[in-house]
Amino acid sequence: MQKRRLGKNNLEVSAIGLGCMGMSFGYGPAADRQEMISLIRTAVARGVTFFDTAEVYGPFTNEELVGEALAPFRGKVAIATKFGFKLDPATGKPAGLDSRPAHIKEVAEASLKRLRTDVIDLFYQHRVDTEVPIEDVAGAVRDLIREGKVKHFGLSEAGVQTIRRAHKVQPVTALQSEYSLWWREPEAEVIPTLEELGIGFVPFSPLGKGFLTGQIKEDTKFDKGDFRNIVPRFTPENRKANQALVDLLGKFARQKKATPAQVALAWLLAQKPWIVPIPGTTKRHRLEENLGAAAVELPPDDLRQIEDAASKVAVQGARYPESLQKMVGR
C-alpha cells in the first residue's frame, strides 16, 4: 500500500484508510463485533494504517471496537477520532453540539480509554459549534497536543473562514468532509484553501454512501435504521436519475478492468497527492475491492474523459436533510 502525507505536520498514512462508522452506527444494526475486529485486522495486514472513528458512533461502541481491534498494532497505525457533540445522558444520543474546551478535554480522556491508547493521532472537531469561538477550540486541542495526549488537530465539514481562523492558533493537519464524483462542492473553495495552507484532505463517503459502487438501485430497500432513508439524494426517483453517474463509472471501469468503486476512488486519489479517502465497509470482499483502487491508474487523458462525461450528469437531490445540512460548511 502506498503512503501519503496529510498536511505539513508529518502525519503519514496509507493512501486509502478505513472508515469504521458503519460497523456500529448509521447503516442499520451494528455488525458482529468479532467479525468487525477480524475485518479491521485484515485491513492492517493489507497495509492500511489509517482508521477513522468518533465518540458519537454508537455512541462509544465504535471507539471501543476500533480500540480492541488495533491494540496489537498500536505503534504501526494512526487512529482518528472526533469530539464536539453533546450526548443526552438519558438516551445516549446526540443532543446538539458542545465544543467548550472543558468538554473537549473530557472527551479526549474518555476516548483514550476506549481506544486503549495513550495518544490520539488525529483529533477532529466533528462539527463546527457556533457557540464556541474556533480559536478556543483550537487552543484546547493545542493544550492536549502539548500534554502529549493528541498528535494532530483536524476539522470536519468546516467552512474556509473557520479553517483559516483555527489554523492560526493550532496548525490544522487535516480536514474531513464529504467529497466524491457525486459531491464536488469542496472543489470551489475548500480544496484551494487546503492547498494554500498545507492541510491534508480526508474525504468521507468517497463512494457516495455506497451509491457509486453500482450495487444500489432504484428499488433497493434500506434497513429501517439506515440514515440513507432520510437523505434526499436517496429517494427512489433521485436514485433513478443518479444512475447515469454510476453508468458512466461502469463504462470507465470496464476499460480499466476495474469496478465502478475502484474508478471512483482512483479518481479521488488522482485529484491531489494529499487526499486520503476513507471508504467504509463491513465486508471483506469490499475491503479488498476498495484497496485495489490504489493500483488503478488514471492518466490525464482518462481524467479529462471522466470530467467531460461527469459534467453532463446533473446529480439530483440534496446530500443531507436540512437539519444536518445547516451544521456543515460553517
CA dihedral sign, ordered 292, 295, 300, 301: negative
> Residue 89: which pLDDT band, with cuts at 50, 70 and 90?
confident
The pLDDT assigned to 23 comes to 98
Q: What is the pLDDT of residues 26-35, one digit of tens each?
A: 999 999 999 9
Give the pLDDT score at 137: 98
Which percentage of the chain shows pLDDT scores above 90? 97
Q: Which pLDDT does position 310 carry in this prediction?
A: 95
Question: What would the pLDDT profile of 212-237 be if each residue is shown by its tens digit?
Answer: 999 999 999 999 999 999 999 999 99
Q: Is 64 a residue whose pLDDT tops 90?
A: yes
What pLDDT, on a 0 to 100 scale, did the predictor assign at position 15?
Answer: 98
Average pLDDT over residues 279-292: 98
Tell me, what's the pLDDT at 9? 86
In this predicted structure, the answer to whether residue 109 has a pLDDT above a threshold of 90 is yes
Residue 90: pLDDT over 90 = no
Q: What average pLDDT score do residues 323-328 get? A: 92
Q: How confident is the model at residue 91 (pLDDT cuts 50, 70, 90)?
A: confident
The CA distance from 66 to 178, in Å, is 22
To the nearest whole number, what is the mean pLDDT of the chain?
Answer: 97
Exposure of 56 by Cβ count < 10 A (0-12 exposed, 13-18 middle, 19+ buried)? Answer: buried
pLDDT of residue 275: 98
Q: How confident is the model at residue 112 (pLDDT cuts 50, 70, 90)?
A: very high
Give the model's pLDDT for residue 93.
Answer: 86
Q: How far is 84 from 129, CA to CA, in rounded Å?
A: 7
* pLDDT band with cut points at 50, 70 and 90 for residue 92: confident
Looking at residue 250, its pLDDT comes to 97
The Cα 116–Cα 279 span in angstroms is: 24
Indicate the pTM of the whole model: 0.97
Per domain, the residue ranges of the chain are 3-213+272-296
Q: What angle do CA 254, 259, 261 make, to 5 degrees?
A: 135
Q: What superfamily does domain 3-213+272-296 belong to in CATH?
A: NADP-dependent oxidoreductase domain (3.20.20.100)
Are the beta carbons of 140 and 169 closer than 8 angstroms? no
CA distances to 52, 162, 189, 289 from 275, rounded to whole Å, are 15, 20, 15, 19
Average pLDDT over every residue of 84-111: 94
Q: Which residues contact 184 (CB under 8 A, 6 or more apart)?
A: none
Virtual torsion, Cα 124, 57, 208, 231, nearest 10 deg: -110
Q: Confidence class of residue 71 from pLDDT cuts 50, 70 and 90?
A: very high
Confidence (pLDDT) at 149: 98
Query: 134-143, 161-170, 178-187, 318-327 — which is least confidently predicted?
Result: 318-327
3-state class (DSSP) for residue 61? helix
Name the residues annotated as catalytic: 57
The pLDDT value given to residue 46: 98
